[in-house]
Each structure stands twice: as C-alpha cells, then as structure tokens.
Amino acid sequence: MKKHQKTLLVALPLVAAMSLTGCNMNPDDLANLGMKGLKAATLSDDEVKQLSKDSCAQMDAESKVASANSAYSKRLKRIVKSLGNRIDGTPINYKVYITKDVNAWAMANGCVRVYSGLMDLMTDNEIQGVLGHELGHVALGHSKKAIQVAYATEIAQDAAAASGNAAIASISKSKLGALAKAVINSQFSQKQEQDADNYSFDFLVQKKINPAGLATAFDKLGGGDSSILSSHPSSKSRAENIRKKLAEIKR
C-alpha cells in the first residue's frame, strides 16, 4: 500500500472523531476511536481475511444461496473448473445467490459470489471473464483496501452512535452485513478497474481460455453502482481495451 493511501485510511476516523466533539464523547472515547482507525489502516493479511470471511458468511446468511444440486451451482462448478481453485495461494470458494440482480464480487479471503441474474444474462465464457476480473481485484490487493476503507467507515458510524462513556461496540452481525455491502458496492478507481480487466485478460490467456468473453460481457453490462458494473471507466471503453489486446495477440 502506498504511503499516502495509508494516511488517508488513518485520517478518516480521526476526522470523524474531531467532528464529534460536540457529542458527549470524552477524550478516552476519542483516543479509542483514533486507535481503532489506525488498526483499520494496518490490519494484517490474516485479519483482513478473517473480516472478509465473517462478512461473507453474514452475506450468505442474508441471501438465498443456490443448493449444490441446483442447475446454477452445477453450471458454475463447470465454468470455474478451468479457472482453478486458488489465486496466489488463496483458496477460492464459489457460490451462487438466487436473485435477479446482475452482479458478481470477490473478497480478500477468496469468497466469490455470482448472482443468478448475471448467469442468466451471460454465456459461460463471459462469466469466466467476469470472474477473472473479480479475482484480479483479490490478487492485486484491491479487495484488501476496500475492506480496510469499509471497516474504517463502520468505526466512524459506531462513533456517531456512541455517547458519553459508551465504548465502541465490537462488530455485530448487522455490522458485518453492512461491512460486506460496503465492500460489494465499493467504487474502485479507474486504474484499479483497468488493472483488474487486464489481469483477467492475462489470467484467461494463461489458463488457455478465450478472453473474448470479457469484452462481450462488458457489452452486456452497461453502467451501475457495484464494482463490475462501474461506469468509471465506461463498459464501452473497457470492452474496447479488451478487443485491442485481443487484436495484439493475434498478430
């Protein structure tokens, strides 16, 4: 993580604490908030993965997960067979959520969830492209940064809800759910999205999978609020980037 990025993560809860001096929070509360903000910025890889695991488990509990015998689960199992079940040493766990929403996401612990709405919309090859993109966010450290920012945000919200000598509460199931949703809806930077797209392309080529599905997936996606649906950069420009790379490897 770059130095200026780490500073930003630390500053977020500290600024929030300063803005709360009008509340009944004493200096000890504010100090605790600052220390927890520092903790959020310096979470170890194991801590990030544990938070991701707990958040993903909470999302599973709140969602309709396809059974292992469902047509969706069987199809996904077939699709991901060629992708492998590890990324940079991290084991990957795939599941399908039964929902009309069109999305897919991955967390730093290798938790990957695909929505049935996306599977209904896309071919097997397009889903491979989307999953390569999401795995790129994990491999490139974007998912780790996303949960650090989300965790810091949850700390600030806890502080806003606290008064007097009330301690900052440990993360409850509801907070884990909120943390997971914040990560799922993270708006990655344009560079992060492009880097994840390029990672997916190279990953698919390495696995001897046709990367063209990534371009046609973007053709179908359009814009939106979650990572894979992000309009920054636009789906059109992302598709063009993949087709340019396709043309280069065919020369």
Kindly list the catalytic residues. 134
| Gap between the Cα atoms of 103 and 93, Å rounded | 16
Chain centroid to CA 23: how far? 33
DSSP assignment of 184-207? HT----HHHHHHHHHHHHHHHHHT
The one-letter amino acid at 85? N
Place of tokens 């996904």: 76
Q: CA-CA distance, 232 to 103, in Å (whole number)?
A: 16
152 and 41 Cβ atoms separated by less than 8 Å? yes
User: What's the token pair of residue 142?
Assistant: 């974007």
For residues 34 and 156, what is the distance between their CA atoms, to the nearest angstrom?
Answer: 10
- Angle at which helix 45-62 crosses helix 173-184, to 10 degrees, equals 100
Whether a cis peptide bond, with omega within 30° of 0, leads into 233 is yes
**Alpha-carbon distances, residue 20 vs 61, 76, 165 (angstroms):** 34, 47, 13
